[in-house]
A and B are shown apart, each in its own frame.
Chain A
Amino acid sequence: MLLALPACVTGSYDRVRLQEPVAEADLAGLAPGRSSLGECLQRLGAPWRVVEYDVDVDGNAGAALLWTWRDAAGWGIEVQYGDENLSGSVSYDAVTAEQPACMLWFDHLLVLQRWRFGTAGDLLPRRQRPAPFAAAAGA
């Protein structure tokens, strides 16, 4: 049945390059427990995202900074089919992979605690609602 439908199949090779990567070597001069936020920003440039981290009841908080980038290439295929009554398309995109990322965590004094490489999806917290201390203090 499907084979009987008029179909158009196209292949594609696509590459996506986004942002500047962070390499292990870029972090070489940074020292957990010693390096300041300013020093890290100087070395790595501006992060992609900043999120609140480790907030205490007095409203002191650290920060987690995420750098992410992508240089991925891959083949894809698209199948389009249809007539006047029925049409549609199916596509497969091998480029869409999780984006590499590096996250740095800073304590309440904005001193580097640690870093980790992974994917943006793994490293960023799922929920990023601001800490409720201000509302509690005002209540």
Chain B
Amino acid sequence: MLRRTSAASLLLLASCALGRQDVNEPIDGAALRAFQPGATKAAEVVAALGAPTEVVQLGRRSAYRYDATRTKSSALFLGVINFGNQDARQDRVWLFFDDKDVLLHYGATLSTHRTQYALPWEDVHEPEDHAARDAKRAESGR
């Protein structure tokens, strides 16, 4: 009887929560593909992507960072014990310029679309998961 009452109380107390937080707009992959190392100037990058999140001096060179972060949080509350999961992925681009502000190299990681709601014991970010989400993003042209 006591066990049944405890189980019922636990169900009454159970609840869950989901939350999503976005910082900055996802980066436009199509805009990145237009950049040409050796030709594109820093001013053109800023015109296309807006103000960078950070500018780092590298001697006479410089590097610009653009990023966007998506965080998905989920929680399961069972009274005296709770389970929580937080998954965060970024779109991130670093562009390296020479002393004349001409693009030398850039590196991009576009992953905000891979963020998932999950519970802590669930496996996420499997390759097939990523492939499906990447394809969807590619279709959208971003």
Which residues from chain A sit less than 8 Å from chain B, CB to CB? 9-20, 36-38, 40-42, 44-48, 50-53, 55-56, 59-63, 65, 73, 108, 110, 130-131, 133
Contacts and interface: CB of A to CB of B under 8 A. Distances in A.
Given A10-B82, A20-B89, A59-B60, A41 B65 contact: no
B63 A63 contact: yes
B58 A63 contact: yes
A19 B125 CA distance: 11
9 contacts: A12-B82, A14-B86, A15-B85, A15-B86, A18-B88, A20-B111, A52-B58, A52-B59, A56-B59
Contact of A46 (B59, B84, B93): B93
B63 to A, nearest CB: 5
Given A63-B58, A63-B63, A46 B85 contact: no
A14 B120 contact: yes
Given A51-B56, A59-B60, A11 B82 contact: yes
B94 interface: yes
A110 B88 contact: no
Main secondary structure of the interface of B (DSSP, over half): strand
A15 B122 CA distance: 10
Contacts of A18: 86, 88-89
B88 A9 contact: no
B56 A50 contact: yes
A107 B124 CA distance: 37
A75 to B, nearest CB: 9
Interface stretch (B16-24, B43-51, B101-109, B132-140): B101-109
A52 B62 CA distance: 9
The 9 closest A-B pairs by CB, nearest first: A61-B59, A41-B107, A15-B120, A45-B109, A130-B57, A38-B105, A46-B92, A14-B84, A46-B107
B121 to A, nearest CB: 8
B61 interface: yes
A73 B120 contact: yes
Contacts of B80: 9-11
